Amino acid sequence: MIAGNWKMFRGPDPRALRDALGDLPHVVAPPFTRLRDCVDAGLTTYAQNVHWEPEGAFTGEISAPMLQDLGVVGAIVGHSERRQYFGETDEAVGRRTHAALEAGLHVIACVGETEHEREEGETEAVLGRQLAVLEPHENLVIAYEPVWAIGTGRTATPDVAEQAHSFIKSRIDVPVLYGGSVKPDNAAELLAQPSVDGALVGGASLDIDGFVTVCHIASSR
């Protein structure tokens, strides 16, 4: 799986992206205002967040049934930016993930350590804590995104990524994507690692040629 997270950017033209992708497997996660455009263009569309209740007094949130009404088929949950800037907790990530899966959505649940936690040798403890709220499910995918590599241009070495992915798979039997400054010039080496099952692409997914190139690299594995 190659998933493009557009974050709070308008992103590329959905129809142009769909034409460029052809038959390549893909996922795009645009901001809420572009979900309908992406669905209508025929893109495999995920939201960037989803609440655990089907409806209620939860200002600023969106539920699984609402996303499904739009034709959205999945959601990213627990991205490091949600944890860092909006106080997302492990418990909340678990509740969001469980509710979305129960409703029939696919989920990409994100885990990862900060630079300080890695330097202190706490990577596995942090990942273990974050994974403890998740259970295997046929529609669940984990994204390992070391926080120190998100939007920084820094990327985990293939060996570091493989080590983390291998640990995650020892705790939960689901596919694991790598996220953290993935781009065309490093995708092949990262995706060649045996425990890396795809990528969660940030900035590079805003460029049609770059995103399509990463999808081509993945499809040729």
Residues recognised as catalytic: 79, 145
What is the Cα–Cα distance from 96 to 206, expressed in whole angstroms?
A: 26
Residue 139's closest CA among 107, 170, 169, 110?
107
What is the helix (H) or strand (E) element at residue 20, kind and residue range?
Answer: helix 14-21
Classify 19 as helix, strand or coil.
helix
Say how many residues make up the chain.
Answer: 221
What's the angle, vertex CA 81, arms to CA 79 and CA 87, rounded to 5? 95
SS3 46: strand
Cβ neighbours around 220 below 10 Å, total? 8
30 neighbors 12 (Cβ within 8 angstroms): no
Task: Quickly tell me which residue has 């038959």 as its tokens.
Answer: 23
End-to-end, the C-alpha distance of the chain in Å comes to 12
Give 27's strand partners.
3
